[in-house]
Amino acid sequence: MEQSKENLKLVSNKNSRIILPNILTLFGVCIGLSSIKFAFDGNFELAIIAVIVAGIIDGLDGRIARLIKATSKVGKELDSLTDVISFGVAPAFIMYFWSLVEIGRLGWLVALIYVVCVALRLARFNVSSSEEPSWKDNFFVGIPSPAGGILVLMPLIYSLSEFQIFNPNYQILVPSLFIIISILLISKIPTYSLKKIVVPRNTTIFLLFSVILFFGLLFIYTFNTIVIAGTVYLLLVPVSAFHFYSILKSKKIEEIDDIEHHEDVL
């Protein structure tokens, strides 16, 4: 009787926990692919919103997996494949249908370069994520693929927003931005990572208020909020690089002082 009960146990508790984050990841794939369909139909507003939703899901599935201790190698690889689709292929197709198609083969080449850079960036991330934990975990190497996917959509988002301060030449702006973002994706420029941010207990209420305020503005003034957030993020790239190298310099000074101290003792 006991042996028959053991045979009925098909999955372990951990295997059942893995299902939830993987379902979220697969849902993100569906959202990313749907954004391509929306762009093909000329509904660029829904296409942008679909990419934003995919980005939110991408930020949740990993945190949920770590929270319920359901991380797995399959989930990690699946997440990377999802990022290629949602933040590489989907934004490239959206911008191709909207603007890049007007410059012919060059537009398609620019889209291909961007998607390849997203794939290379994710491959490098998967390799480097197996390293020992350190203070460098607070920084990404290059900009993350979700940020890159949103940033290449900025010209389209700007055209749909109320911030019509100037009228850019999109046939020049769009391919130029694609090349810049592609370089940032595969570069080694340190950028802030919010995955392991530690918030003091006395400031938690302000963080929650800020998050609610941001999503409220995103819901009411969707495209205006994305334009502001994208601009702020781009401005933070040199700030994060300066912060990273200042910490690195101080760490090296501490190591030198420690070596000199031991030499004096000996």
* pLDDT higher at 136 or 45: 45
Beta carbons within 8 Å of 88's beta carbon, 6+ residues apart: 114, 115, 118, 119, 145, 149
Domains of the chain: 2-265 (1.20.120.1760)
What is the rounded CA–CA span in Å between residue 241 and residue 189?
A: 6
What is the rounded CA–CA span in Å between residue 48 and residue 156?
A: 9
% of the chain with per-residue pLDDT over 70: 82
List pLDDT tens digits, range 113-167.
999 999 999 888 877 765 566 667 778 888 999 999 999 999 999 999 888 788 8
Q: What is the per-residue pLDDT for 264?
A: 44
Task: Enter the pTM of the model.
Answer: 0.82
List pLDDT tens digits, range 130-139.
556 666 777 8
pLDDT band at 13 (very low <50, low <70, confident <90, very high): low
Contact between 192 and 133 under an 8 Å Cβ cutoff? The reply is: no
Q: Which two tokens stand for residue 245?
A: 């190298």
Element (H, E) at 190: strand 190-192
Q: What is the per-residue pLDDT for 195?
A: 66
**Average pLDDT, whole number, for the chain?**
82
Q: Where are the alpha helices (DSSP H) in 41-163?
A: 44-67, 73-84, 90-98, 105-128, 145-151, 154-160
CA atoms within a 13 Å half-sphere pointing along the CA-CB vector of 161: 23
